[in-house]
Structures are given as C-alpha cells and as structure tokens.
C-alpha cells in the first residue's frame, strides 16, 4: 500500500489512485494545499498495484531510439497565437487529433476559476478551455482511466500536461499504445491550488464581482512582458504586468511550489512525451526574424510519433530548426529544478492569516541593498544605451 514518507517524492499525479482496483485511495490536500494519496486500510487487499504504478518509485526511462530535435515555431493563425501562451502550437496538435476522430486531455479552469483540473475534449470548439497556461497544479482526477478506455476502444488520444503527469500516465498504462500521443511542457513547477484559490477570492473581493474570464498570459503588453488579466461579471477588469502581480510574484519567487518541484525527477532534454512545448525565450538573439513579440514556441520532438504529428502541421506553421544546445542556455528549467525560497514554509503558513497582497508583499519585498543594486544596474543600462547612440 502506498505511503508517503517524504513529500518531495510525490508529484500528486494520481496514478496510484487511478490504478487501485478497490478504489480505496483518496487524494487529500495537506495544509499547503497539495494533494497526496491516502489509502483506506480496511478496504485494501494488498495487491501492490499502487506502488507498482508510481512513477517516482519505479522510474521509467525515455525511449532514446529517436534523437531529440528542436525547432522554433509559430502558428500562422494569429488570432489563436494571441490567445495562446507562446506560439500556439498546442492548438494545432489538438485540432489534428480531433480531426482524426480522437480526443484531447489537458488542463482547464473549473467554472468558478478557483481551481484547475484535467478534462477531455472531443470538439475543436471546446479547445479554448485547454488553451493557455494555468500556473497552478491541475488535478488529474480519473482522466488516466478515461484515457485508457478511449485507447482500448481504438480512438486516438493526445494527453497533455506537466512532465510528471505524462510520466504518471505511462506508468499507469504500463502497455504501449500505438494510438497514444503525448505532449508535455518545460516546467518551472506548479503553485499550490490553495494559494490560487485564495488569490481568486481576494481578487473577487476587490472587484466585488465574480470572475468571468482569466488569463495568466495576456499579450496586451506583448509576449515577453505578459500580463495577468481578470474580467469580472460587473464589467470591470484587473490587469497587471507579470512582475507587478502579487500571485505571479509568489509563483516566480518559488514561494509556493509543490515540494516535488524543487527536486523534480522529470528534468532533461530527452522526455517520455512525444513532444515538449515551451516558450522560446531568447528568440530575439537566436532567430530575430522569428520574433514579433506575439509568441514563439520552442518545440522539442522526442519520438517518431512526435515527428509524425509535427509533419502534419507543416502548412500551418512558420518554423526553423535550431541547435539543441541552445535550449538549456535560455530555458534552464528544462534541466534544473528551481531552488525553494528560503521563506517558503513561513509564506505558506502566513497566507492563511493575512490578506493575500500583504503576505506576498511581506515575503517578496526586496531588501534595501537589493533595491540599490537594481537601481544601479538600471542606471548603468541607460548610460550604455545613450553611449551606443
């Protein structure tokens, strides 16, 4: 029976809960808001399946029969690209699978926007629910079981998510399926669902209204300086650039990520997924002609299936091959886990006590020396700019 001794050794992927033949594993949130498996001893028959499918206990190595290649890519449909976090490649992959009678799994907001969970989509019109990054852990629920049912019935399945969610799916399935396609992301880490819920409650209190639409990566000010945007039912809106928004400050300062994200077992260029999608940070230096600040994707292709999927998109994208060595330089999250903020534990305790923005301010406020250093760097950059002119 599965038992969590070290929280950093559980990604919350739900593979154990999906596999249990007695349905005796519940995923229960701890005080930080992250769910962990809890087995009901009375119902357990000691079959050991939960331990066997855990991708952390039984690590599965990526198939290295196909060399990983990298491209920069842009969806030629500008409207979709602007509604996507980077170059809008996810939508094209998903449309292709649905057009072949398949189904797509990915992360969507709940109706009240206070949580994110994985859902299955079989209509192109519903892809909007999956489009766009949601910077909070998405609950897998029973979607691995649902995906298996579709696979067994012969339907094509595209399963998308974080690398640990894709790892969990393969471990749960245990058999290879010709009709399964997977896509993961380069993953910074996932913030606590509890922190996200508190933030939505806070925003709604400020606007005295319910959330109607929400974007983590709105491109109002461009792709590189993306903005957090809430639209409320009383026709008001909240919009802040990424470094000015308190939730994004907590996320990017690594104050509220899942413990497993600080020691991630799914890092590396080579992945279990067929395709990895990411932001092509640094594109302005690598291929300036592929940068219009509306979003460029970095696409890593790891398998023959991934190549097959990408070939189908050739007339719908603008793309250029890039050297695989460039990936780590501009996107270190591909290889390295982030380092936990030294005040993480205190932050996650205090968030229960004070108003959201007060807590974030308390924990992300720069010291006088840091502020002085930033000011000096800013002045030096301005002088450099004038000297060049």
Shortest distance, CB of residue 87 to ligand SF4, whole angstroms?
A: 20
Nearer to ligand FAD, 190 or 313 (CB): 190
Q: Which is nearer to ligand SF4, 239 or 340 (CB)?
A: 340
Residue 130: count other Cβ atoms within 10 Å of its Cβ.
Answer: 20
Residue among 49 and 133 whose Cβ is closer to ligand FAD: 133
Of the candidate spans 39-47, 224-232, 272-280, 376-384, the one that interacts with ligand FAD by CB under 6 A turns out to be 272-280
Q: Which two tokens stand for residue 70?
A: 């990298």
Structure tokens at 229: 């945007």
Closest distance of CB 373 from ligand FAD, Å? 25
**Residue position matching structure tokens 């399926």:** 177
Of 160, 162, 183, 272, the one binding ligand SF4 (CB under 6 A) is 162
Q: Are 250 and 196 in contact (CB under 8 A)?
A: no
Binding to ligand SF4 (CB under 6 A): which residues in 8-27? 10-16, 19-20, 22, 24-25
- Judged by CB under 6 A, how many residues of this single chain contact ligand SF4? 37
Question: Could you give the string, one character per residue 48-67, with x where binding to ligand SF4 holds by CB under 6 A and - elsewhere?
Answer: xxx---x-x-----------
Residue 11 touches which of ligand SF4, ligand FAD, none (Cβ within 5-8 Å per kind):
ligand SF4
Helix axes 356-364, 193-207, angle to 10 degrees: 120
Report the residue number, 49 or 121, with the smaller CB distance to ligand SF4.
Answer: 49
365 DSSP 8-state letter: P
Q: Which does 264 bind (CB under 5 to 8 A by kind): ligand SF4, ligand FAD, none?
A: ligand SF4
As a dihedral over the C-alpha atoms of residue 294, residue 190, residue 304, residue 326, rounded to 10 degrees, the angle is 60
DSSP notation for 241-297? ETTT-HHHHHHHTTSSB-GGGGG-TT-SSS-SSSEEEEE-TTHHHH-GGG--SS--E
Which of the listed partners (ligand SF4, ligand FAD, none) does 86 bind, with a CB threshold of 5 to 8 Å by partner kind? ligand FAD
Asked whether position 32 contacts ligand FAD by CB under 6 A, the answer is no
Helices (H), the chain: 15-19, 49-52, 78-83, 89-99, 143-152, 163-173, 193-207, 246-252, 283-286, 304-311, 326-330, 344-350, 356-364, 368-388
Residue nearest ligand FAD (C-beta atom): 106
Residue (of 141, 189, 145, 143) closest to 164 by Cα position: 189
39 binds ligand SF4 (CB under 6 A): yes
Residue 167 touching ligand FAD (CB under 6 A)? no
Residue 20 contact among ligand FAD, ligand SF4, none, beta carbon within 5 to 8 Å by kind: ligand SF4
Q: Which of 70, 98, 180, 187 binds ligand FAD (CB under 6 A)?
A: 187
Residue 158 binding result from ligand SF4, ligand FAD, none, given CB thresholds of 5 to 8 Å by partner type? none
In the window 46-85, what residues touch ligand FAD (CB under 6 A)?
Answer: 84-85
State yes or no: residue 254 binds ligand FAD (CB under 6 A). no
Query: Is the Cα torsion angle 244, 245, 251, 256 positive or negative in sign?
Result: positive
Report d(CA 144, CA 166) in Å as an integer.
10
Among 33, 132, 163, 306, binds ligand SF4 (CB under 6 A): 163
| Residues 6 or more apart whose Cβ sits within 8 Å of residue 82 | 219, 294, 295
Q: Which two tokens stand for residue 331?
A: 């996107």
297 lies in the binding site for ligand FAD (CB under 6 A): yes
Q: Which does 251 bind (CB under 5 to 8 A by kind): ligand FAD, ligand SF4, none?
A: none
Q: What secondary structure letter does DSSP report for 367?
A: P
33 binds, among ligand SF4, ligand FAD, none (CB under 5 to 8 A by kind): none
Q: Where are the beta strands (DSSP E) in 179-236?
A: 180-185, 211-218, 227-232
CB of 173 to ligand SF4, least distance (A): 13
Return the residue matching tokens 């690398």. 163
Binding site for ligand FAD (CB under 6 A): 84-91, 106-107, 116, 130-136, 138, 160-162, 185-188, 190, 277-279, 297, 331, 333
């Amino acid at each position: 029976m599965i038992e969590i001794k070290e929280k950093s050794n559980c990604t919350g992927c739900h593979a154990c809960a999906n596999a249990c033949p007695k349905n005796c594993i519940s995923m229960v949130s701890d005080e930080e808001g992250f769910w962990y498996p809890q087995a009901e001893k009375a119902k357990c028959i000691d079959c050991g399946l939960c331990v066997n499918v855990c991708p952390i206990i039984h690590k599965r190595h990526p198939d290295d029969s196909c060399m990983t290649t990298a491209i920069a890519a842009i969806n030629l449909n500008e409207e979709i690209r602007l509604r996507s976090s980077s170059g809008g490649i996810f939508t094209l992959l998903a449309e292709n699978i649905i057009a072949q009678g398949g189904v797509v799994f990915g992360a969507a907001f709940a109706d009240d926007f206070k949580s994110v969970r994985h859902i299955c989509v079989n209509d192109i019109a519903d892809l909007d629910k999956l489009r766009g990054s949601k910077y909070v852990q998405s609950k897998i629920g029973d979607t691995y079981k649902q995906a298996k049912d579709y696979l067994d019935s012969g339907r094509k399945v595209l399963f998308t998510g974080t690398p640990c969610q894709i790892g969990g799916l393969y471990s749960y399935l245990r058999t290879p399926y010709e009709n399964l396609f997977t896509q993961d992301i380069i993953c910074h880490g996932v913030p606590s669902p509890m922190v996200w819920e508190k933030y939505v409650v806070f925003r709604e209190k400020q606007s005295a209204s319910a959330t109607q639409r929400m974007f983590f990566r709105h491109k109002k000010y461009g792709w590189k300086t993306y903005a957090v945007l809430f639209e409320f039912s009383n026709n008001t809106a909240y919009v802040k650039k990424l470094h000015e928004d308190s939730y994004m400050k907590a996320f990017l300062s690594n104050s509220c990520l899942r413990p497993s994200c600080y020691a991630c077992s799914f890092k590396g260029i080579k992945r279990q997924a067929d395709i990895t999608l990411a932001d092509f940070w640094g594109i302005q230096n690598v291929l300036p002609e592929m940068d219009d600040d509306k979003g460029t994707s970095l696409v890593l292709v790891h398998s023959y299936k991934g190549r097959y999927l990408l070939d189908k998109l050739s007339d719908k994208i603008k793309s250029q091959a890039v050297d695989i060595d460039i990936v780590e330089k501009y996107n270190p999250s591909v290889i390295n886990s982030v380092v936990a903020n030294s005040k993480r534990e205190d932050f996650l305790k205090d968030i229960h006590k004070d108003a959201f923005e007060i807590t974030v301010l308390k924990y992300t406020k720069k010291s006088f020396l840091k502020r002085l250093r930033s000011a000096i760097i800013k002045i030096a950059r301005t002088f450099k700019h004038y000297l060049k002119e």
